[in-house]
Amino acid sequence: MTENIDLTLIGWSRAQFALTAIYHWLFVPLTLGLSFIVAIMETLYVRSGNEEWKKITRFWMTLFGINFAIGVATGIILEFEFGTNWSNYSWFVGDIFGAPLAVEGIVAFFLESTFIAVMFFGWNKVSRKFHLISTWLVAVGSNLSALWILVANGWMQNPVGMAFNPETARNEMVSFWEVLFNQVAVDKFLHTISSGFLLASVFVLGISAWFLLKKRESSFARRSMLVASVFGILASFMNAYTGDSSARTIAKVQPVKFAAMEALTEGKTNAGLVAFGVLKESENKVGEKYLKDFLFKIELPGLLSMMTSGDRDAYVPGVIDLVHGNRDRNIMSFDEKKTRGELARKTLIDYKNAVKEGNTALRDSLKNVFAEKSFNSEYFRFFGYASVEKAEDLIPDLSGTFYSFHLMVILGFAFIMLFALTLYHLFRGTIEKARWFLWLCLLSIPLPYIASELGWVLAELGRQPWIIQDLMPVSAAVTNIGSGSVIATFFIFAALFTTLLIAEVSIMVKQIKSGPKH
């Protein structure tokens, strides 16, 4: 109940998890993309026999190894936090959430750990082809790790393939394939790995540009930029396509998040897609929470309706529709969802009391109720609303969601231009003369990191207050421990992760300055 919720504990638990996730995601995307870039470069070496490609491969492979090692450390801490900080969540859905993480450990990490030793230490000890296969398997293994983690996260955003067991008060998986091929998970995986490919491509461009600015290793730099720009522009188009697909899916399964992405207060037909805008506080409010209006915006008329339904006249619900309901559009209100959620929770409490009192007839009757598809689709699917007190709690941070989405999209289109200009200068032979452009490549290195982090801010901030969409709010998922221990570990982790980041950057800079080995 509300009076028992420690808001300080919830806030610091969220902050600690966000801190760990943000730092972890500084390392992961480079691993995802650089592994494939290295594999492509080694393929060129094996096919051509040109030792220059071997030198290029080994240089970027070294940077991949530095980043990989530190990324693993933050990832382990992140998984442990589900048990330490979010034990109620782990209990409620551990049977489902734990399965893809277990697969990740068994399959993906096995691939990486088995072949990464060959990749780094097998030069001149195994055949060229076997070494190349090992490099490709490390790349595949790295990205398979992302698959299983994103399947778990996708299920939290759109819970499917499960049934509730009232005896244990846990959700249990009934269809592994439904969980695996959940549309949110598929979109999230493809969009995430393509963003990693893009990030690694910009990273290679920027470092190679530095060598050209220093008038060092010009052949190495040009070849690296060619591979990175071709790989990067393909990844950019893939990223744009999967981002569009992901937005369409979000409109169906997380409509409040979708409305927040566009700062759409009131629903409308022929809704325009906001290319960019600046928000201001609105006079409209839900409960005590003020919504947002636009100070100014650049809008593409009708495109939002087209994107969601393929029809310019389609109605796109706004935040007010989704909270207060709209009977004309068959949109259920918060109050109705809460009533249904409370009935589902009362049914569970009645079942537990029947078990405790030995009332087998009532127990079996209520157990059959939970087995009914109609009960699960009409009542239990709103189970989490019983723990949400106010309608305004359903509304995420509108400014944070809107700006993170639009800045991410703007940066995505900027990367397409960056890769296109790189190819233009490379094929014209003017890349070394265009020093302004080399500086642009170098200074662009932080931008895909920002875009990638913004994507996760959008994904997680936009779905608040839910840790599991419609089934469990964050306030019900937190471990009942003293907030002091969470605060202490927050600062310990902040110091540790910052130290790891500084260490990685310093090692990488030293390795880059020393250049490729001849």
For residues 149 and 36, state if they share a domain.
yes
Among residues 313, 329, 345, the one where a domain terminates is 329
CA distance 209 to 442: 6
Domain hosting 488: range is: 1-157+478-508
Residue 190 pLDDT greater than 90, yes or no: yes
The pLDDT of residue 198: 95
Note whether 266 and 320 are within 8 A (CB): yes
CA distance 339 to 81: 33
Choice among 199-213, 297-311, 383-397 with the minimum mean pLDDT: 297-311
Please state the rounded mean pLDDT for residues 331-345: 91
Helix (H, G, I), strand (E, B) or coil at 284: strand
Residue 89's nearest CA partner among 370, 466, 394, 461 is 466
Is the overall model pTM greater than 0.95, yes or no? no
The pLDDT of residue 6: 66
- Helix, strand, coil shares of the chain, percent, nearest 5, are 75, 10, 15
8-state DSSP, 310 = S
8-state DSSP, 386 = G
Among residues 374, 392, 410, the one where a domain terminates is 392
Residue 187 lies in a domain: no
For residues 317 and 367, state if they share a domain.
no
The pLDDT of residue 65: 86
CA distance 449 to 415: 12
The model's confidence at residue 1, banded by pLDDT at 50, 70 and 90, is very low
The pLDDT of residue 87: 80
Residue 70 pLDDT greater than 80, yes or no: no
The pLDDT of residue 406: 92
Residue 257 lies in a domain: no
Q: What are the pLDDT digits (tens) for 107-144?
A: 666 777 778 888 888 888 888 899 899 999 989 888 88
The model's confidence at residue 3, banded by pLDDT at 50, 70 and 90, is very low
Residue 163 lies in a domain: no
For residues 362 and 485, state if they share a domain.
no
Total domains present in the chain: 3
Please state the rounded mean pLDDT for residues 323-350: 89
The pLDDT of residue 80: 73
For residues 387 and 300, state if they share a domain.
no
For residues 277 and 360, state if they share a domain.
no
For residues 320 and 362, state if they share a domain.
no
Residue 205 pLDDT greater than 90, yes or no: yes
Residue 239's nearest CA partner among 479, 32, 508, 505 is 32
